[in-house]
């Protein structure tokens, strides 16, 4: 069974291989498979975006299954924003720095005890002739008032994870992967595949 990952993110691909290699003999990124496809993520939820991406890439490939995910940051004081708009919070064409700067600005008057937030990942495996597998992973945190740390990407420098006493951007890759929202979602996918084998 071959699994195509609807991504070219090397860290993501490595993490997926570590967790799902028992169930798929061949796991490849889009680049590995020579597929160039850009799916427009216009859904209003992480689930809609992940499902759309998985199914469009499955139709464009000759793989048995495609794994896609959609992730973002949900801030309670902003009613769940930036959510599905996490990558373009500061507007189309803006980068992580601009998104972080906007988040710091809109949250500047919010008290410390109301700065709860979570990273969310929805992972989907679309398969030919079988029903989809879906799983959602979360990790809870607090939003800082200024960036800390040089690692990671996105909102990692503002996302403070209390059990480790540091932001995601202050963690090394192993620390972050051990608790990340993506890992939690992928573990959910792994459990669903395990159940099917019983």
Average pLDDT across the chain, whole number: 94
Please list, in sequence order, all residues whose beta carbon lies within 8 angstroms of the beta carbon of residue 101, skipping any fewer than 6 positions away.
90
Other CB atoms within 10 A of residue 91 CB: 10
Cβ distance 120 to 46 under 8 Å? yes
Residue 10: its pLDDT value, please?
A: 82
Is 70 part of the annotated catalytic residue set? yes
Residue pLDDT, tens place only, 181-198: 999 999 999 999 999 888
40-65: average pLDDT: 95
Each residue of 120-177: pLDDT tens digit? 999 999 999 999 999 999 999 999 999 999 998 899 999 999 999 999 999 998 899 8
Q: What is the DSSP letter of 176?
A: H
Copy the structure tokens of residue 61. 């490939």
Question: Beta-strand (E) ranges in the chain?
Answer: 2-5, 26-29, 65-75, 116-127, 130-143, 159-161, 166-167
Q: Residue 93: pLDDT above 90? A: no
Question: What CATH number belongs to 2-197?
Answer: 3.90.950.10
Which of 26, 70, 109, 156 is labelled catalytic? 70
Q: What DSSP state is assigned to residue 78?
A: G
């Amino acid at each position: 069974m071959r699994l195509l990952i609807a991504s070219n993110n090397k860290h993501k691909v490595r993490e997926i291989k570590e967790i799902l290699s028992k169930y798929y003999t061949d796991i490849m990124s889009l680049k590995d498979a020579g597929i160039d496809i850009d799916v427009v993520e216009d859904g209003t939820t992480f689930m809609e975006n992940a499902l759309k991406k998985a199914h469009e890439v499955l139709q464009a490939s000759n793989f048995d299954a495609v794994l896609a995910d959609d992730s973002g940051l949900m801030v309670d004081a902003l009613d769940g924003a930036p959510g599905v708009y996490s990558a373009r919070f500061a507007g189309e064409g803006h980068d992580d720095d601009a998104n972080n700067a906007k988040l710091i600005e809109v949250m500047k008057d919010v008290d410390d005890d109301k700065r709860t937030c979570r990273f969310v990942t929805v992972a989907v495996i679309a398969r030919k002739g079988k029903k989809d597998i879906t799983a959602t992973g979360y990790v809870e945190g607090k939003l800082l008032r200024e960036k800390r740390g040089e690692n990671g990407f996105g909102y990692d420098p503002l996302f403070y994870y209390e059990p480790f006493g540091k932001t995601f951007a202050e963690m090394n890759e192993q620390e972050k992967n051990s608790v990340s929202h993506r890992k939690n979602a992928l573990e959910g996918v792994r459990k669903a595949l395990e159940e099917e084998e019983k």
